[in-house]
Structure 1
Amino acid sequence: MAKKIFIASTGQNSGKTTTSLSLMFLARKKYGRIGFIKPLGPKPSTYNGLAMDKDAALMAGVFGLDGDIEYMSPVVLYPDSTRKVLDGEIRSEVLLDKIRQATAELEKRCDFLVLEGSGHSGVGSVIGMNNAKIAKTMQAPVMIIAGGGIGNTIDSVSLNLALFRQEQVAVKMVLLNKLIPAKRESSLHYLRRAFAGESFRVDGGFNYTPVLANPTLGRISKILGCPLSGDVREVLRIAHHVQLGAASAQRVADLLEDSSLLLVNSSRDELLVMLASLYNLPEYRRKIAGLVIPGLAPVSKITQKILADSNIPYIRTEITNAEAFTRITSDVSKITVDDREKIDLIRTLADTEIDFEAIDALL
């Protein structure tokens, strides 16, 4: 029988996938056969011709699990799935049975199995398949991923615990993620005090890391729905800062930070020309990740030629500067199989920031 753990969280974008990747890397060092399952997949995609959740596709690609893909994402949700369940066209009992069967098959194939939930613990309740019920169906102990604060984190963990207790599912650990390094020990101290009477362990996960949190140019291209032009080989470059090019050209240059993405309106010829020129200077190549050029006004022919000759990566969109800025800054960057820098960093950090032996001993 495989050891298994269900990764839940207090909310979206808490670091479930990062934690799952970490556990997979660490388990692979100790166990011969590792596996992954996303029982309820709200982000449909296609992998090797098979419909499956994006997180399951990521794990299959990173860990070479192609032989298991038919079991890794047993239930994929589409825009009309909720309606079909509520209308009785699809029965939640049937979906839960698919999850049960897929889990049983992977348990035969694996020594260690990571099960990743969706959103906070109540997600899926509308179709009778929240995370607590799924964890019970899979007969899996739970790890809850929470933020690195104190008051809000204690409140959120307590709220999510109630649902697992209602389903009589064992919560074995609360893992604090995206911790501020200077506050790491303090946060852990107070969370452990708050839950001192509980049977689960409270431990620290990853510190907040900009490389993991910030988007690549390829991700920004998808957010805006427009192609990357210029040097498309920079598609995986990470933009650590987003800067509105609204000031004078000199002021914008003075404010450049490491690996900045600049949003420059299509009518700002002088600024576009300056940035294109600076891009080919080594000291500025490090600072300029690329451009987003919003606006309905066409870019002038001479400016367009200078942009093309400089090979600076840029994304042209007709939405407004404000809309582009809002879309980019409100997005949470999701890891894909092509994000090698992020995946390699996770593998490295997992060794120092995740206590796998402590987790393994709880299962």
Structure 2
Amino acid sequence: MAKKIFVAATGQNCGKTTISISLMHQARKKYKRVGFVKPFGPKVLLYDDLMVDMDALLMARAFGLEKDIALMSPVALHKDFTKDYLAGKLDDLSLSDCIVEAVRELEEKYDFLIIEGAGHGGVGAVVGLNNAKVAKLIEAPVVIVTESGIGKVIDAVHLNLALYQREGADVRGIIVNKLIPSKKELTRKYLKQAFQSSNIEVIEGFNYSPILANPTLGHISKLFDLPLQGDLNEKSRIIHNIQLGAASSQRVIDGLEDSTLMIVTSSRDELIVTLSSLYHIPAYKEKIAGLVIAGHGPVSEISQQIVHDSNIPYIRVEETTADVFTALSDDVAKITFEDQEKLDWIMANAEQHFDFQAVDALL
């Protein structure tokens, strides 16, 4: 039977998927066969006629596990799933059995199995499941991933811990992620003190990194559900800055920062032409990640031709620049299998900054 670990979290966007990728990458150096499963997932994609969780697909594509994708996502909560469940349309479907059977089969195939939860401990309760219940159901030791801090971490972990303890799940550690380097020593010291009496191990995750937090061009394309045009090889490029092209062309160019996504209205022909022309120059290509051309008005024919000839990546949207900027500011970018630059960064840094042995020793 496989060694297994349930990767839980105190909430969304703690870096749970980053930790799962790190575990997978490092476990493969020690164990011959390493598998992954997302017992239930609310964010689904269509893959080979199957509705699967996007994190399961990420792991399958990144680590060559496509043959097991159906087992890796036994319960995919599609758009109307919860409504159908509450309406009694799925009474003949045992979600628990689907999960148990998938995990049992994966345990027989692999030496080490990573089980990733969905959000905080209570997610899934609407369909008769939750992360804590699933962890107990499959008898998997739990580590809880949390964002950095002291008071808020202790509060969030205890809030989740109460549910895991009620369900009888075995929580063995917490992984503190998105650490602030200057506060790391104090954070570790006080958290170890806080959880010492609970026999819960405190393990350091990654330092906060804008590389992981920032979106890619491909992600922006999906956010607006519009095609990325121009150089499609740049779709995994990470955007470090988002700027509004509201000033004069010269001031906009002078203010360009590293890997900037420029939001420009469709009537700003001179700025669109200037940015497209500068994209050919290596020094400026480092600064110009791409364009979002916004607004109802058409781009002039000559400007559109220059944009096309420059091969600059761009997305054409009809919303106003203000609406686009708000949407981008409110968005949280999740890692997908297409984000190769982020995946490479995680795996390279996992070897230096994430203590797999400390996690492995808990199991």
Q: Same-fold call, TM > 0.5? A: yes
Q: Which stretches in structure 1 are left out of the alignment for 5+ residues?
A: none
**1:184-199 paired onto structure 2 within 5 Å:** 184-199=184-199
Contact 1:35 1:106 in 2 (8 A): yes
Contact 2:237 2:341 in 1 (8 A): no
User: Partners of 2:209 and 2:18 in 1: how far apart?
Assistant: 11
Contact 1:9 1:144 in 2 (8 A): yes
Deviations 1:45-94 (A, max 9, x none): 23333321111111111111233223111111112211222222224981
Find the residue that maps to 1:319 and give its secondary structure: coil
TM-score by length of 2: 0.96
**1:26-37 paired onto structure 2 within 5 Å:** 26-37=26-37
Tell me the CA shift for residue 11 of structure 1.
0.7
Q: Which residue of structure 1 aligns with residue 348 of structure 2?
A: 348
Structure 2 letter corresponding to 1:295: G
Structure 1 letter corresponding to 2:127: I
User: Partners of 1:75 and 1:181 in 2: how far apart?
Assistant: 38
Contact 1:92 1:129 in 2 (8 A): no
Aligned length: 363
Find the residue that maps to 1:362 and give its secondary structure: coil
Structure 1 letter corresponding to 2:186: S
Contact 2:242 2:261 in 1 (8 A): yes
Q: Which residue of structure 1 aligns with residue 335 of structure 2?
A: 335
User: Partners of 1:66 and 1:284 in 2: how far apart?
Assistant: 39
Q: Which residue of structure 1 aligns with residue 160 of structure 2?
A: 160
Find the residue that maps to 1:228 and give its secondary structure: coil
Q: Which residue of structure 2 aligns with residue 182 of structure 1?
A: 182
Of the structure 1 ranges 148-157 and 9-18, higher mean CA displacement relative to structure 2 is found in 148-157
1:307 and 2:314 correspond: no
User: Partners of 2:141 and 2:65 in 1: how far apart?
Assistant: 23
Deviations 1:10-66 (A, max 9, x none): 111111111111101111111111111100121122333332111111111111123
Structure 2 letter corresponding to 1:167: E
Tell me the CA shift for residue 260 of structure 1.
0.4
Tell me the CA shift for residue 309 of structure 1.
2.4
User: Partners of 2:247 and 2:92 in 1: how far apart?
Assistant: 55
Q: Which residue of structure 2 aligns with residue 14 of structure 1?
A: 14
Structure 1 letter corresponding to 2:32: G
Of the structure 1 ranges 56-65 and 29-38, higher mean CA displacement relative to structure 2 is found in 56-65
Q: Which residue of structure 1 aligns with residue 269 of structure 2?
A: 269
Contact 1:294 1:321 in 2 (8 A): yes
User: Partners of 1:241 and 1:301 in 2: how far apart?
Assistant: 29
Q: Which residue of structure 2 aligns with residue 127 of structure 1?
A: 127
Structure 1 letter corresponding to 2:245: G
Of the structure 1 ranges 279-288 and 59-68, higher mean CA displacement relative to structure 2 is found in 59-68
Deviations 1:84-105 (A, max 9, x none): 2222222498101111111111
Structure 1 letter corresponding to 2:157: V
Q: Which residue of structure 2 aligns with residue 245 of structure 1?
A: 245
Tell me the CA shift for residue 253 of structure 1.
1.4
1:172–1:326 Cα change, 3 Å: same
Contact 2:211 2:238 in 1 (8 A): yes
1:58 and 2:61 correspond: no
> CA-atom RMSD, angstroms?
1.5
User: Partners of 1:88 and 1:49 in 2: how far apart?
Assistant: 25
Identity between Structure 1 and Structure 2 (%) = 56
